[in-house]
Amino acid sequence: MKILLSAYACDPKRGSEEGVGWNWMRGIHRLGHELHVLTKAENRAAIEDAVAADAALADIRFHYYELPVRLDRWAATKYLFFLYYLVWQWGAATRALALHRRERFELVHHITFGSIRAPSFMGRLRIPFVFGPLGGGDSAPRMLRPSYTWIRRLEDDLRDAMNHAVRFDPLMAGSFASADLIIARTPRSAGLIPRRFQHKTMVAIESGVDVTRLGRAHPVPPADRPDGLKMLFAGRFLSLKGLQLAIRALAEFRARGGEGTLTAVGQGPEEQSFRRLAEKLNVADHIRWVPWLPRGELDAFYRSSDVFLFPSLRDGGANVVLEALTAGLPVVCLDIGGPGIFVVDSCGAAIPVEDLSIEATTAALADILLRFHRDRPLLADKSAGALDRARQLSWENTVGKVYAEVERLSRRPSRPLSVVSSPASLPGNS
pLDDT, one tens digit per residue, over 6-31 is: 999 999 988 778 889 999 999 999 99
Burial letters for 60-99: b for 16+ Cβ neighbours within 10 Å, e otherwise? bebbebbbeeeeeebbeeeeeeeebbeebbebbbeebeeb
Rounded distance between C-alpha atoms, residue 312 and residue 240, angstroms: 6
Q: Is 328 left (phi over 0), alpha (psi -120 to 50) or beta?
A: left
Beta strands 61-65 and 107-112 are unpaired
CATH domain 2-208+394-410 topology: Rossmann fold (3.40.50)
Residue 249 has φ and ψ, to the nearest 5°, of -65, -40
pTM over the 0.75 mark: yes
Instruction: List, for residues 169-178, the tens digit of each pLDDT value.
Output: 999 999 999 9
Q: 3-class DSSP state for residue 192?
A: coil
Question: Which residues make up the CATH 3.40.50.2000 domain(s) of the chain?
Answer: 2-208+394-410, 211-392
CATH domain 211-392 topology: Rossmann fold (3.40.50)
Q: Is the pLDDT reported for residue 341 higher than 90?
A: yes
Instruction: List, for residues 210-259, the tens digit of each pLDDT value.
Output: 998 888 888 888 777 777 999 999 999 999 999 999 999 999 999 999 99
Other Cβ atoms less than 10 A from the Cβ of 18: the count is 20
Dump strand ranges (E) for 18-167: 34-40, 61-65, 107-112, 129-134
Instruction: List, for residues 106-161, the tens digit of each pLDDT value.
Output: 999 999 999 999 999 999 999 999 998 999 988 889 899 888 888 888 988 999 99
For residue 237, which of 287, 189, 302 has the smallest C-alpha distance?
287
Rounded distance between C-alpha atoms, residue 308 and residue 324, angstroms: 7
Rounded distance between C-alpha atoms, residue 370 and residue 366, angstroms: 6
